[in-house]
Amino acid sequence: MRSMSSVLNAMKPGWCSVLLPACVALLPFTPVSAAPPGEMPFGVYDPNGDFEADPEVAIEHLFLPWEDVFLPSLVDADLYAIERDRAVLATIEPWTWSRSERNSPDILRRNLLSGEYDQYMRGICAVLGTMDSSVTVRWAQEMDDYTSQFIWAGWKPDDYIAGYRRVVDICKAEAPNAKFMWSPLGYENLPEFYPGDDYVDLVGLSVFGLQAWEIQKFGKELSFVDILTPRYERAVQFGKPIVVAELGYVGNQAYVDKWESEVRQIYPQFPSLVGVVYFNQHEVYPWPDGFGLPDWRIGKRVTE
């Protein structure tokens, strides 16, 4: 078996920004038991390795921009997950992480629906299909948020659904054991983008708490339950298991402690909720109303 360092030496420059779990072994850190208390299955997107040695983590989250992925390194991500007895959640984003080289929404939509971009999904899923880890694929998340950075958000629902079905059909052929997560942010318009029961095994939602923004916007702090409740109620109609696929919270110590105590509890009003996955990284797209880039990392999220 190749060592992690031998693989990384062969990677493209800057590869640690693309397939982060494969790079953790090379980063200096002190492993900690960082998962919140509770019984809800817990996962993490963990580029800095804060959760590397945490036995509470059951899901390893990968973010894969499909134009940038160095496919052989997915093998090492698989080994990383297997050694820790974790399933893999692979979020595949249909763009490049190089902002200056990104397509426009129209070009992405046209080339996706015409089949010109089939190669990206086929290549990634061909490798996912060889993995020994349990794999769930999450493609083009938060399509219902028209204000986001994503070039696939704001499409006509029929176009998004056609694109989603196309890539899932491709991936099913290459990775027949994979599961598929359809993952809106959770807004009122989310039902318009539902691709159908045959294309969805789980529904993902995003839940982020930013204390300062909530106080300005709503005049009070919001809890995990406050934010999740309307999103869960919109998603539960599809009869699928629900996962908080992206979770983060930033505020003063009391605010963070409160969220920490809430996010892994079992709530009777959320019987379909089967897991939460923390986003242990700095925000990459500015929040509205001048609130900048919140830092969701566990060592940085307390603001005072």
Task: Point out the residues that are catalytic.
Answer: 142, 246
The Cα–Cα gap between 140 and 194 comes to: 13
How many CB atoms lie under 10 A from the CB of residue 129? 16
Taking the chain, what is the end-to-end CA distance rounded to the nearest angstrom? 46
Reading the block at residue 146, the tokens are: 């028209």
The identity of residue 4, as a single letter, is M
The Cα–Cα gap between 286 and 292 comes to: 5
Q: Read off the DSSP letter of residue 256.
A: H
Helices (H), the chain: 4-9, 73-83, 105-114, 118-128, 157-174, 211-218, 224-235, 253-262
Nearest to 203 by CA among 239, 247, 228: 239
The Cα–Cα gap between 79 and 72 comes to: 12
The Cα–Cα gap between 261 and 86 comes to: 23
